[in-house]
Structure 1
Amino acid sequence: MKISVNVRQSVWMVMAGLGFWMTACTKDPSVTPQSPVSGTPAKADQSVNNWILENMRAVYYWNDKMPANPDTMLAVAPFFYSLLYDYNNRANPERDRFSWIQESAADLKASLSGEQKTTGLEVKYFLRSAGSTEVVIKVLYVLPGSPAYKAGLKRGDIITTINGQKLTTGNYASLTNNPTTFNYGLAKLESDKIVDTEVVKTVTAEVFQQNPVFLDSIYAIGGKTIGYLVYNQFIPGPNGSTTPTYDQKLEQIFSKFKARGVNELVLDLRYNPGGYVSSSVKLASMIAKGVDNTKTFYRTEYNKDVMAELQSQNQTAQLTTRFQTKAQNIGGNLSRVFVLTTGGTASASELIINGLRPFMPVITIGETTYGKNVGSITISDKTGKIKWGMQPIVFKSFNAQNQSDYSTGFTPTIIKNEPLALKPLGDLEEEYLNAAVAQIVGNGTARISADQGPQLPAIGSSVERRAGGSNMFDDRNPLNW
């Protein structure tokens, strides 16, 4: 396909490194696309569809698999999803599960920088018992300073009612997303049984900026100095800021790790659905053993038209992203790295795992990761006439050994499941951290504890939804990042 002059700018946009996302970042459930239906959209929809089609034909990774004659008379969201490669075929792990579109490009960009309207809770949803229609919510973590934090909610809390209504498979989607003010009814565990209480916490959602650098600690155990980092999204800095505040915080932490002689590292990416590749390069460059700016962290592959354009302009060197030479690098003291994972560990988090593998052993503890070896860019209309924003997949990533074999996720080296009763993050008795420490210092000093408490049927989590996991709110349409 010949690339037209007026689309060439979109082609070069894929090379704007800071725009690269390997994420499944937040999507507003209110813009969940409907099943494609025929009809005559408003004129504005037609112009939006033409804009979508032009850009997708230019930069979409699977542009050769798009419909030859798509129905531009569809409403905007159904039209966009009708273009995606094998979107509804769940049997194909290589399909496009990830591209998405939002009605507001401004909201899309804000969410990618960790700013959104939220109570500050990250949660996981379970059936109250096998075969039950009742749903319970387990709080995974609470953002410091958020409305939920101020209301006294904490990791491990169990929610069984919202606004006086008992949660069920039929209502929990609307109850957890539609209100602005939430009255959370709490339960407790007694002898491994969930028991409702009369405790209610009232929280009003507000626009809030997440700080992704959640926790760091250093432990001296059994002759080892263990660095621990909980990192929940790859974001350079706050939305709208040109200062990479969060990247700088990571550098400060690794400077401290280096000064304290950290010789084992536990990187907690359980709740990290991805983010800016630029931040992943910085983090990997402070961990990997024996790297500098001459060593390959990852390389990218685009669609055949973009690849041909880069070759014709002698720009193929831009396909390789190298590590950075970082004074904070602790790789010289490390013989391996431990990464804690769940099904919400996705994209840029998996890029870290894959990019480090050629340089050091990466031991994963937890659950199989999400399986996202592709990345996207944000596309919005520069004229401002079209308000929609889209996040299409434009590249596939490979590590220094040309590996990109994780479309079904990384299977954990050590399998763990989080119990219903959760210890605080950073607590040495916390399930995942305990397992890592046991591996580091040996079973004579610490042990891998058995999974504790009841194991309820899980039906999804807010982290997996941010990561583009199967849309627990509408099984017809698996959301992607």
Structure 2
Amino acid sequence: MSNTSHNRFIGQLSIAGLLTFLVLTFTSCNKNADTISPQTRTTSTNNSLVDHWILENMREVYYWNDKIPANPDTTLAPSDFFDSILYSYDATARPDGDRFSWIEESADNLTAELSGETKTTGMEFTLYLRAANSNDVIAQVLYVLPGSPADQAGLKRGDIISKVNGQGITVDNYQSLLFGDMTTYTFGLAQVSNQSILDTDVTKTITTAVFQENPVFLDSVYTVGSKTIGYLVYNQFVPAPNGSNGTDYDDQVDAIFSKFKAQGVNEMILDLRYNPGGYTSSSANLASLIGKGVDASKLYFREEWNATLTPYLTQQYGSDFFLQKFSTKAQNIGGNLSRLIVLTTDWTASSSELVINGLRPYMTVTTIGTTTVGKNVGSITVTDDSGQIKWGMQPIVFKSYNSLGQSDYSGGFTPSVEVQEPINLYPLGDTREALLSAALGYISGTANSRLGVSQNPLKALGSSIQRKAGGSQMFRRLKNLNL
């Protein structure tokens, strides 16, 4: 194979070798089969060795592989080296650049996190400045996982944390206090009083544990006049628990829509406000339950890979390799829907946005909340099958397009009705809760009168959701091809 200026390959893994590997992977597909694990002939894991492993894989699979530097510094620490070869996003110089590829030192931890299993307190939270022009920070609990350490300690949505282990949280220490390696946390709680945050004497002590999150958080049915409204809070696109080859969580979603169909649901509110993404297969499953007039013959989305791999993959597997069709689902409620309402925030990303974009050619999709992340690209997990290199990376390898060829949401989906989450939070599913209330008001035609209650005077600094398996994920589950 001749080398060119933009698709040169190094190391022992050639295109032919990669395709041989892909054949073996596709025919033994399981839930973790989106892991590309080329064999390596190395015997140690010093920086140079790991860096060359990173480089040879990225030169083959990375979506922007033609932008990788010709002679990168392979003496750098692996995480620094990985960052150095990315076509990194820059608003001015590289507005089409990469915001989402990442690498982790433990491939095992990476694959577990992508399936919702982490060492955790069991809660997600938003960080705010405590007051204008202040360096003090608070963390407000967004949701607590049932059965988790946080749940057992009595923490709940809306609780405000102002201290960790007796120390006040500030802009200088919140990273170490809230995202460090501590096992036991004693959280000091605060409360809202007359628009101010006041400390209390209440504390909650939590010991972290390895915990599997069920992404199917809450479902309900509401009746508003002649409308029967289905509501689903879904927090990550994961088909089954870590280590399982099944579809346990997808099956739970199917069962919920079977119930929605039996109850005559004719309006649907899909709550993806805290969903940063996940498996495209689970995204397709959910979309297949909602889409109007969709079945296994209809295109959900297609993938665009780099110019190096595309001809080889097309020759080996045909053009269907790049296509994700809907499934024909008996539980589909699309026939009773005229539209879909999706609740979104700044953390709604990737496979969540795929649902919005993928369904828009088939039905009206209205978003309520705040603008989404804008991730129209997807990744695969790359690990070393020999076990000699422990690192795992999640590079962007494809861009997604809906059936109309649309992929123009890198700036996120701007909501039709803009609603911020307030500082006073009602439980998810409570009809007084700001985003759900706005959606119910939109359905009944009274949305505008409800928006004033949802404005938040505090400045947000970010959320723990941004650290959830990379913050915004869309990764494919490789298809089982009969070769």
Same fold (TM over 0.5): yes
Residue range with higher mean Cα deviation, 92-101 or 202-211: 92-101
* 1:351 aligned partner: 354
Alignment RMSD (CA, Å): 2.3
Aligned residue number for residue 6 of structure 1: 17
Contact 2:50–2:78 (CA<8 Å) still a contact in 1? yes
Report the 3-state secondary structure (helix = DSSP H, G, I; strand = E; otherwise coil) of the residue aligned with 1:450: helix
Distance 2:23 2:398 in 1: 13
Match for residue 416 of structure 2 among 389, 413, 416:
413
The 1:368/1:17 distance shift into structure 2, 3 A limit, reads farther
Tell me by how many angstroms 1:311 deviates: 3.1
Task: Tell me which residue corresponds to 1:110.
Answer: 112
Match of 1:237 among 235, 240, 243: 240
Q: Would the aligned equivalents of 1:99 and 1:480 in 2 still touch at CA under 8 Å?
A: no
**Cα 1:300–1:261, aligned 2, differ >3 Å: closer, same or farther?**
same
Cα offset, 1:12, TM superposition: 6.0
Deviations along 1:163-188, one digit per CA (max 9) or x if unpaired, are 00011101111000222111110011
Question: What SS is found at the alignment partner of 1:236?
Answer: coil
Alignment match, 1:463 = 465
**Are the equivalent residues in 2 in contact too, given 1:285–1:323 (CA < 8 A)?**
yes
Q: Does 1:172 align with 2:183?
A: no
More deviation, 118-127/90-99: 90-99
Give the Cα–Cα distance (whole angstroms) in 2 for the partners of residues 90 and 173 of structure 1: 29
Helix, strand or coil for the counterpart of 2:308?
helix
Q: 1:369 to 1:267 in 2, by over 3 A?
A: same
Q: Which residue of 2 aligns with 1:288?
A: 291
Counterparts of 1:208-219 in structure 2, within 5 Å, are 208-219=211-222
Separation (CA, whole Å) in 2 of partners of 1:216 and 1:13:
40
Say if 2:231 and 2:269, in contact at 8 Å, map to a contact too. Answer: yes
SS of the residue 1:394 aligns to: strand
Q: Answer yes or no: is 1:394 the counterpart of 2:405.
A: no
Shift of 1:91: 6.3
Aligned in 2, Cα 1:434/1:409: closer, same or farther, shift over 3 Å?
A: same
Letter aligned with residue 385 of structure 1: Q
| Alpha carbons of structure 1 residues 295 and 20: separation in structure 2 relative to 1, 3 Å | farther
Going from structure 1 to structure 2, the CA distance change for 1:168 and 1:480 (only over 3 Å counts) comes to farther
Pairing of 1:270-309 with structure 2 (within 5 A)? 270-309=273-312
| Alpha-carbon separation, structure 1, partners of 2:69 and 2:22 | 20
Identical columns (%): 56
Equivalences for 1:256-271 in 2 at 5 Å? 256-271=259-274
Asked whether the 8 Å contact 2:277–2:474 carries over to 1, the reply is: no
Which letter maps to 2:104?
A: Q
Q: Paired residue for 1:99, among 101, 106, 120?
A: 101
Task: Give the alignment of 1:21-420 within 5 angstroms.
Answer: 44-87=46-89, 92-178=94-180, 179-313=182-316, 315-420=318-423
The separation in 2 between residues aligned to 1:434 and 1:14, in whole angstroms, is: 46
CA distance in 2, matches of 1:101, 1:133: 31
- For structure 1, list consecutive stretches of 5 or more residues without a partner in the other structure: 22-41, 471-478
Q: Give the Å deviation of 1:93.
A: 3.8
Contact 2:122 2:144 in 1 (8 A): yes
**Which sections of structure 2, spanning at least 5 residues, go unmatched?**
1-6, 9-13, 35-43, 476-483
Alpha-carbon shift at residue 461 of structure 1 (Å): 0.6
Displacement, 1:45?
A: 2.0
SS for the counterpart of 1:451 is helix
CA 1:453–1:289 in 2, change beyond 3 Å: closer, same or farther?
Answer: closer
Task: Name the amino acid aligned to 1:432.
Answer: L
**In 1, are the aligned partners of 2:279 and 2:474 still within 8 Å (CA)?**
no
TM-score, length-scaled by structure 2: 0.89
Amino acid at match of 2:321: Q
The count of residues paired between Structure 1 and Structure 2 equals 452
Q: Deviation per CA, 1:34-61, whole angstroms, max 9, x where unpaired?
A: xxxxxxxx86222211111111111110
Which TM-score applies when normalising by structure 1? Answer: 0.90
SS of the equivalent of 2:48 reads helix
| Partner secondary structure for residue 286 of structure 1 | helix
Deviation at 1:443, TM superposition (A): 2.1
Q: Per the alignment, in what secondary structure is the counterpart of residue 368 of structure 1?
A: coil
8 Å Cα contact 2:419/2:454 also seen in 1: no
- Is the deviation greater in 455-464 or in 335-344? 455-464
Asked if 2 retains the 8 angstrom alpha-carbon contact of 1:343 and 1:464, the reply is no
Q: Supply the distance in 1 between the matched residues of 2:341 and 2:260 (Cα, whole angstroms).
A: 15
- CA change 1:12–1:102 in 2 (3 A) is farther
Name the CA distance, whole Å, in 2 between partners of 1:90 and 1:427: 43
1:438 maps to 441
CA distance 1:318–1:5, change in 2 (3 Å): closer
Cα offset, 1:190, TM superposition:
1.5
Q: 2:266, 2:336 within 8 Å by CA — same for their partners in 1?
A: yes
SS in 1 for 2:261: helix
The separation in 2 between residues aligned to 1:93 and 1:222, in whole angstroms, is 47
Whole-angstrom CA distance in 1 between matches of 2:429 and 2:166: 33
The AA in structure 1 aligned to 2:465 is V
* 1:335-360 CA-partner distances (Å, limit 9, x unpaired): 00000000100000000000010000
Question: Take 1:469 and 1:243, find their aligned partners in 2: how far apart are those partners?
Answer: 24
SS in 1 for 2:414: coil
CA 1:453 to 1:72, structure 2 compared with 1: closer, same or farther past 3 Å? closer
Query: What is the letter of the counterpart of residue 105 of structure 1?
Result: A
